[in-house]
Structure 1
Amino acid sequence: MKLQLYTLKSRHFLNGIDVSQLKVQQGITLLLLSCLTIFSANTSAGTLEQAKQLHDRIAGVPASEQTLNEMSVLLSDSKPIEAAYLAMENPAFYSTTLKLFATPWTNIDQDSFAPLNDYSATVIGAVRDDVDFRQLLQADMVYVGDNSLNLPAYSTRDNAHYQALEDQFIDLKSGLERTTQSSVNGLPSDATAGVLTSRAAAKAFFYLGTNRAMVRFTLMNHLCTDLEPLKDNTRSPDRIRQDVSRSPGGDSRLFINNCLACHSGMDPLAQGFAYYQYDFDVESDPDGDSGAITYNQSGQIDPDTGTRVQGKYHINSTSFPYGYVTEDDEWQNYWREGVNQKLGWDESLNGKGFGAKSLGQEFANSQAFAQCQVKKVFKTVCLRDAESTEDINQIAATTASFQQNSYQLKRVFAEVGNYCMGE
């Protein structure tokens, strides 16, 4: 804005004009100009500060001056989503933010600082490529290091490939490429289920035990609930395996009030993993560091069961001989009825199927799955859990947006980042 001040030389023109009043008017004009200048500077400083906060929350590292200025312009132009996407161009978003985001899902201890592996790398790659995030639990996919990097080959028996990616500080934004899981781990394509059949997941959740851990940790990591809140002793016990005593300690009430409440829903779901095992030498390799995921394909017979079902599904069969005997990998979701309808199961699916792939689809198409991803992003970006009514409303709005935008997780980071930008 340009101010022109004219000198009044004509005494004739000045006749009848209060000169002191003229000076006051000139002073007011200058004051207004000063205020406009300050307002403009404050607006610029405000969007720059917002850009800095947004970038720091999303990428976890300071932005360059150029990036900050570009983000500031986008924010000034009411384009906050575009500003957030610009922050996600920083390689640190992939190597730091997303790695810390996904790594706890890959291990029993939920350690954020565990090494990069095929599970966490696949999450990072899927986010980068805007893959429909539901595919994470059902697709024949895995992300590996780009072939041009000359890394150790992907191995079903160790994590050297991913350790090299990390040790060499490879930029995960550009250094990962998608391939089919079946081409590297030997599983049939129809037996793959995204990260559920990754080597890292098998090492953590198919390790010894009864494969129930895979159900529990899938619920925890991808539906944001543990078994305790899902207890429902109104479900039928007909699919509870033989290894669960019906009168633990001689008290059948314990079974009815505790064991049945979890196992009646969990056991028929865990049957979807009946052909999977994590194979390793317990004596020489007790931690399973050199183990591999295995799968009994058609025609393969387990010596302990006489079927394709892994022997672990028949362990401790004398605890209750009249319990359910697993004969195949047909799973069923008993939680589609009763109190656990609250998880929002997809009505277009029938709630039963064979194997891990269809089971992963059942989990991934639930309302709980979509909401869980938003909650996890909220905690990552806002550095806290949702608490207030406004927070809860934002979770609901972003969940709806996530579903409407093809389950692209970068969109969730953008929306949540803008919500928490001013904190």
Structure 2
Amino acid sequence: MNLINRLVLFCASLAVCQLSLAGSLEQAKRIHDRLAGTAPSEPVLLQMATLIDDGDADAAAALAMENEGFYSATLKNWASPWTNRDFDVFTPLNDYSATVIGLVRDEIDYREVLYGNHIYVSNASGLSAYNNSNNNHYAELEAADISLKDTLVHRDQHSVTGLPESATSGVITSRAAAKAFFIAGTNRAQFRYTLVNHLCMDLEQVHDVTRVPDRIRQDVSRSPGGDSRVFLNTCMGCHAGMDPLTQSMAYYDFVFDVDADPEAELGQIEYNTDIDPETNSRVQPKYFNNDATFPYGYVTPDDTWVNYWRVGQNAVLGWDQSLNGEGEGLRSMMQELAHSEAFASCAVRKVFKQVCLRDAHDDDDLNQLQQMQTSFVGNGHNLKSVFAQSALYCAGN
């Protein structure tokens, strides 16, 4: 018989039963289960229950997040689907997911997940060093069941990966993200998956045919199947806004040996700091794939970008008016996305679903989401507090 049942039976046998004790114990267990994915030890359970009885449920939630399970299970499973195109939660730990875990643990402004010069590695002994060409460091860390809470340490990303400091952009320039989204193609995948994973919307939700199409690249046909109406009513709605933003990624690629390593397990991110002989600029050759499709389309000269979605229907995403809406390079473009209201809303919704095991479905849930988003923004974009608030809410509902 577990501790809660023993205490409940004991209380029932007394003339004066402390029903609040049983209630706080059950609430403490639910909070711990939600956050750590495992039952608490008896001392932790009792300590959490005491904190709840003393009116300090926040401290009880904080205690639950001291459990290793919050990091190696809850956070790892939360972030892992973002690191691959299949949204596979069972993908091995990597520099992307480890960096998300570290940023949440250290309560760093979560917006910097997209643009900060951050990476987390383990300081545990016996592991392979971080390597731009493989995931061994993180695979060994996970296989050895080493504590992520205790061994993950922050490093400036450029000092670990060798990218120029100005070329780093949070998890977007992690090896895992590059392998999944910079590989082949034209870098539009990186943008699309960032929208899906961090703004909770796909291209269909930002489709807007009223934007000027002057930066749509040459590889997009203006009359698919011989019908220009398809371009005007469909293709243009995404590309008119997306292509001016993905220009910020023009210097990036993921390179690997197609013949010897077709799965790109040993590939690595590449960033052009010098003139590329194929393009006579720093722009990667991939930006000129299928350039004969529409030769009069936009020819990418550099990594400057502009956000055409600041006006029109996508103004509803809540762009930060203190930013310019245009700039140079990936980092500033990702800051544009991360400082939107849509980013904050998405982060809160994803935490709620992870902790509560469901989407918000009624007015009470929606009100709770709004309160947590307001708190998230007002509390330095500290996402750890959103996990705590979600657990406290769902443990009582």
Given that 1:303 and 1:311 are in contact with CA atoms closer than 8 Å, whether structure 2 keeps it comes out as no
Q: Distance in 2 between matches of 1:359 and 1:35?
A: 61
Alignment CA distance shift 1:203-1:36 (3 Å): same
Q: How does 1:3-402 map to 2 (within 5 A)?
A: 40-146=17-123, 148-297=124-273, 300-402=274-376
Deviation at 1:38, TM superposition (A): 6.0
Q: Deviations over 1:177-226 (max 9, x none)?
A: 11111112111001100101000000000010000011101111111111
Alignment CA distance shift 1:39-1:130 (3 Å): farther
| Matching residue's letter, 2:192 | R
Deviation at 1:253, TM superposition (A): 0.7
Alignment CA distance shift 1:95-1:39 (3 Å): farther
Q: Distance in 2 between matches of 1:229 and 1:389?
A: 23
Percent identity (aligned): 56
Deviation at 1:290, TM superposition (A): 0.4
Given that 1:235 and 1:265 are in contact with CA atoms closer than 8 Å, whether structure 2 keeps it comes out as yes
Provide TM-score, normalisation by structure 1: 0.90
RMSD over aligned Cα, in angstroms? 1.4
Aligned length: 387
Determine helix, strand or coil for the equivalent of 2:153: strand
Unaligned runs of 5+ in 1: 1-33
Unaligned runs of 5+ in 2: 1-10
Deviation at 1:265, TM superposition (A): 0.5
Name segments (4+ residues, structure 1) moved above 3 Å. 34-40
Q: Distance in 1 between matches of 2:308 and 2:56?
A: 45
Task: Please identify the structure whose Cα radius of gyration is greater.
Answer: 1
| Matching residue's letter, 2:208 | D
Determine helix, strand or coil for the equivalent of 2:116: coil
Provide TM-score, normalisation by structure 2: 0.96
Q: Distance in 2 between matches of 1:172 and 1:363?
A: 28
| Matching residue's letter, 1:118 | D
Q: Distance in 2 between matches of 1:58 and 1:40?
A: 29
Determine helix, strand or coil for the equivalent of 1:319: coil
Q: Deviations over 1:146-172 (max 9, x none)?
A: 1x4231010000000000100100100
Alignment CA distance shift 1:35-1:278 (3 Å): closer
Q: Deviations over 1:35-57 (max 9, x none)?
A: 99666421110110000001001
Q: Distance in 2 between matches of 1:268 and 1:382?
A: 38
Q: Distance in 2 between matches of 1:378 and 1:340?
A: 25
Q: Deviations over 1:360-391 (max 9, x none)?
A: 11111110111111100100010000110111
